[in-house]
A and B are shown apart, each in its own frame.
Chain A
């Protein structure tokens, strides 16, 4: 079993930074640690660099206020100084909110709370929200999920066990969905809810959906840190 990293950063990724990919972020943080003069445990290859790992990579274009980066502080930098020093050298939109010692392994992350904003340019059609919720109010909803690994080019996935809760609220010309979804093994990308709804609910055809990761939860649906 891999040893747990000692320390964690809780960070937000919003605004223009939503378009920084996971791989690019994995390059950005080690450089930022160096710029901040914070000593971090290094990898042991030929090209040594800070050994960092980001739990549950976020899809490109999504925003989040609960990203977790694991690393190990090796110098004598006090943990409380880390956020300010990092924030001084990070790109716009990436903000370190907290730095702390890890208590439980990230594999105990069980669920994520998402806020997804479905924009209807011509106004929300009457009944669209009801249709959306009704679609998922069932015992099983098996969809075909595109997969590069599977021979058929897709795998079958039942969405229902991966959905812990859904609630919708109408805000102006948008429907705002708050969803608690399985985080890993397997996780459910909220985009799948919308692509499925688009196929099966005639009224639910939003022009654009924004995805925002709001909280990381454990199996008891308590905040995970």
Chain B
């Protein structure tokens, strides 16, 4: 650790964020290391350390001989000010060495509002933010995560986008770097070779041209780069690295518990959900592996809480036996087992009750829309009956607080749908009146609405976002429709959702806007205490970019979308077909009822997605005759 930090750390908030030294941090002998990687998370320590992807990549890279992967998080502004004043560049937590001297700097991009932090961290590392201005000796800057699927707004700053799951491609990328170093490649030569690896997108090898109206006219690859870059997936999750022996932070983080990933992908096909499509195809882990990894992770961490994570845990085929087996261990060791992301149906409520070691006082449901028509349009296959039945179950169990999450501004939404939210909340109230074990303590129903952001690689990728004014009008309409004193209404501020909508479907012309906003002080934009919409509007003005071009415009099918050269495995034609179904409020059955031919199965070597048995389970069944 830089000795100057000893004078700074006593003055900043939560200094344990900046020291490293946690249990199981990886230390390596620098003499045995030939490749150094700074795994950066463009938000604070508490959020970054809660990210399972970061922990997986940290383990994968450090398992490579000669590679030392260190962590780096965005310093909170109090620490940043101290570091800048003392002239301390951004450093890796493990070694304390400046990351500007490393071979790679990798960012995990989970949220558009973190883009300014990416620039700020590059700057704190002492590097030019623009890729073109970084020299031969500067680290290769790579970025992955959900936002990388349309990383175009960051194309000026990033050398390589890593698309999809990083377990395998990261290793290939580093091996190629070593090979290039042996052969004496220049950075440009390395990037040209990297572009040949499936899943690595080198934005500088693509020329983007625009029509006069501002839409993209063509995206043309150069130097042999592929026309379409397809994301990577892990073929067999059972065999993939899973961090059972991961770092245990010495300070409290957001998800301070064991996270056990049940499966990747989702069979549901909710039309607004980017994760639901970007993480296809569905690949479960076998129960046996999960039980073993879950127990091992608890034992080796000392955590007394475990969360089973996935996009829709009720869809894990063996959820009940899995929970039973984990409970056998957890019950004895006083470990709480959490199961979020459950569907509001009887089966899920049954499992949840079993996990509960005491009465649950509060439960959250996400019906997303207020009327059946709109829920059908977005393909959220939850009926009012499902929801009210589930509420009845929890009310009968003594629960007296329900949270309901909705979105406002979904395509085809009418005032009737908005008022429908209030009506649905009221029905939840009436269900409580009828079935509550005791009405003496009252009920608190919290309705929250967020502002819908159309995302790339969803059925709604061509849709306009409603204006902030229209969103506010709908908020007021809903507000005035809620008259029951037991129902509390919270709504999100539209400012960040508006910006998120700009960048989610943005193109390369947004690069200068991000840089301008950052230079005028934007950072930690996802934190309301630092976010300032005026600063962003000023940046749009200064760069001559109209944000409404990205948010308020419905795109025709023929338009070349800025992410047309990226494939998540799902065919654009499928997205468009489903979009039209939405306009007719026609639901699409989930993948298990009927395969709709989205195309994601082509990513699998075995060609079968969501196989009822994993390879391991098939082999075992065979062995047992």
Contact = CB atoms under 8 A, between A and B. Distances in A.
Contacts of B543: none
Contacts of A207: 7
Interface in A7-24: 15-17, 19-21, 23-24
Chain B interface size, as a band, is 20 to 34
A17 B21 contact: yes
A31 B302 CA distance: 4
A127 B21 CA distance: 40
B1 interface: yes
B303 A31 contact: yes
A35 B300 contact: yes
A30 B250 contact: no
A45 B76 CA distance: 35
B25 interface: yes
Interface stretch (A46-54, A149-157, A174-182): A46-54
A61 B15 contact: yes
Contact of A91 (B1, B14, B23, B300): B23
A19 B357 contact: no
B9 interface: yes
Contacts of B25: 92
B301 A31 contact: yes
Given A61-B9, A92-B25, A208-B7, A35 B20 contact: no
B336 A47 contact: yes
A35 B1 CA distance: 27
A21 B251 contact: yes
Q: Point out which of B23, B25, B357 has the most chain A C-beta atoms below 10 A from its C-beta.
A: B23
B273 interface: no
A131 interface: no
B211 to A, nearest CB: 55
Interface residues of A, number: 31
A90 B251 contact: no
Contacts of B252: 23-24, 27
B304 A32 contact: no
A146 B531 CA distance: 33
B22 interface: yes
B556 interface: no
Nearest to A211: B10
Of all A-B residue pairs in the complex, the 10 with the closest CB atoms, nearest first, are: A31-B302, A16-B21, A34-B302, A92-B21, A61-B10, A19-B15, A16-B19, A35-B302, A48-B334, A91-B23
Given A15-B1, A31-B301, A48-B334, 20 more contacts: A15-B21, A16-B20, A17-B21, A20-B16, A20-B251, A21-B251, A24-B252, A28-B250, A30-B304, A31-B302, A32-B302, A35-B299, A60-B15, A61-B9, A61-B15, A89-B23, A90-B23, A91-B248, A92-B23, A208-B7
Interface of A: 15-17, 19-21, 23-24, 27-28, 30-35, 42, 46-49, 60-61, 89-93, 207-208, 210
Interface of B: 1, 6-7, 9-10, 14-16, 18-23, 25, 248, 250-252, 299-304, 333-334, 336, 357-358
12 contacts: A15-B1, A19-B15, A19-B18, A20-B250, A24-B16, A24-B252, A32-B23, A35-B23, A49-B304, A61-B9, A91-B248, A92-B25
